[in-house]
Chain A
Amino acid sequence: MNDDAELLQRIRAGATDEFGELVHRHQARVFGILHRYERDLQRVEDLAQETFLKAWRALEQFDGRAPFEHWLSRIAVRTALDHLRREKRHKDDVGLPDLGDDVLDWLRNPDEKNELAARDAAEVLHRAMQQLAPTDRMVITMQELEGRSVKEIAEALGVSGIAVRVRAVRARAKLKRALEKLSDL
């Protein structure tokens, strides 16, 4: 695989079209990150485009000390956080899909039921996580769904490691309560 640094050098020298190749290489990762915070595919695409545009605008600031992929992931995380904050402000405007009977059964009797399908589990979590503060939601998503370390989360969100730990505990407790509330639907 051609090295990102080489590609970036050509882009900086004026080969703008080469940025398309960079997008192609990293789009799967960016879509993967953003989909953790937004279920609507059209919105995920819009956010991904916003992420790459931000990267393009800030390309001169990328110093190459960390891999490009990490730098881009941080931009995607910040884009997701901005999106969650906007959504939080317009929470009442967002329509929520109804949860299916299987999901509600599982929520009412999680010990007795089999595991949920991946899509249903993600849908339930997404819905319950809307009760969390945007940063708390980012913390618990990165920790539990993406398997990132406390240090990585702290760097991505620009907060301390202690703040990440505190937020993770708080988010987990609030998430449990939100899931219990969903089972009452």
Chain B
Amino acid sequence: MNDHNLSKLFAAARNEPAPTAPAEFSADVLRAIGREPAPRPAMAASVFDHLNGLFPRVGLAAAAIIVLCVAADLGVTAIGMPGVDDGTAQVASQYLFNSDDL
């Protein structure tokens, strides 16, 4: 079978008419659609949905870091070590708002 004969075969096959749909075809499709579960109405996306769509991993990582920091602060406060707020107050009093330097 050479290229020319294959092309002849394709050319002949191209002329085959397609079968016509039965007269009731569109009605059958509508009946099948009627058996389909009703489509759920689209719900409005919240701000969080949009953010999640834009930064799915960054958002998750940021939330995880915040939760870890709060938990660590609560933990160190509970065992008596100075927490983040104590450290901040110390830094503020020693360096930022030290009245001796004013």
Is A79's CB within 8 Å of the partner chain B? no
Of chain A, the residue at the smallest CB distance from B38 is: A16
In this complex, what residue of B is CB-closest to A182?
Answer: B1
Per DSSP, chain A at the interface is helix
Could you say which residues of chain A place their CB within 8 Å of the CB of B36? 53, 56-57
Q: Which residues of B are in contact with A by a Cβ distance under 8 Å?
A: 1-3, 5-6, 8-22, 25-30, 32-33, 36, 39, 42
Contact A118–B15 (Cβ < 8 Å):
yes
A31 and B33 form a contact (CB under 8 A)? no
Q: Which residues on A sit within 8 Å (CB–CB) of B18? A: 28, 31-32, 35
Give the chain A neighbours of B25 by CB distance below 8 A. Answer: 23, 27, 45, 48-49
A65 beta carbon closer than 8 Å to chain B: no
Query: Do residues A122 and B19 form an inter-chain contact, with CB atoms below 8 A?
Result: no
Contact across chains for A16 and B30 when beta carbons are under 8 A apart: yes
Indicate whether A180 reaches chain B with its CB closer than 8 angstroms: yes
**Contact sample, A vs B, 19 pairs, CB 8 Å cutoff:** A21-B26, A23-B30, A28-B21, A41-B19, A44-B19, A48-B21, A49-B29, A53-B32, A53-B33, A57-B36, A60-B42, A115-B11, A115-B12, A121-B9, A125-B10, A145-B14, A176-B1, A176-B2, A180-B1
Whether A158 sits at the interface, judged by CB under 8 Å, is no
Enumerate chain A interface residues (CB-CB to B < 8 A): 16-17, 19-21, 23-24, 27-28, 31-32, 35, 41, 44-45, 48-49, 52-53, 56-57, 60, 107, 110-111, 115-122, 124-125, 144-145, 147, 172, 175-176, 179-180, 183
User: Are A172 and B6 touching (Cβ within 8 A)?
Assistant: yes
A52 and B13 in contact, given A32-B18, A110-B1, A172-B6 (Cβ under 8 angstroms): no
A176→B13 contact, CB < 8 A: no
Chain B residues closer than 8 Å to A110, beta-carbon distance: 1, 5, 8-9
Q: Is the CB of A115 within 8 A of B8?
A: yes
Take A31-B21, A110-B8, A176-B1 as given contacts and tell me if A121 and B16 are in contact as well, using a CB distance cutoff of 8 Å. Answer: yes
Residue in contact with B26 in the complex, picked from A23, A32, A172, CB distance below 8 Å? A23
Q: B10 near A145 (CB under 8 angstroms)?
A: yes
- Asked whether B21 lies within 8 Å of A121 as measured between CB atoms, the reply is no
Residues of A within 8 A of B2 (CB): 176
Residues of chain A contacted by B3 (CB below 8 angstroms): 172
Is A35 within 8 A of B8, CB to CB?
no
Q: Which residue of B lies closest to A144 (CB)?
A: B10
Are A45 and B22 interface neighbours, CB within 8 A?
A: yes
A147 to B11, CA, bound (A): 11
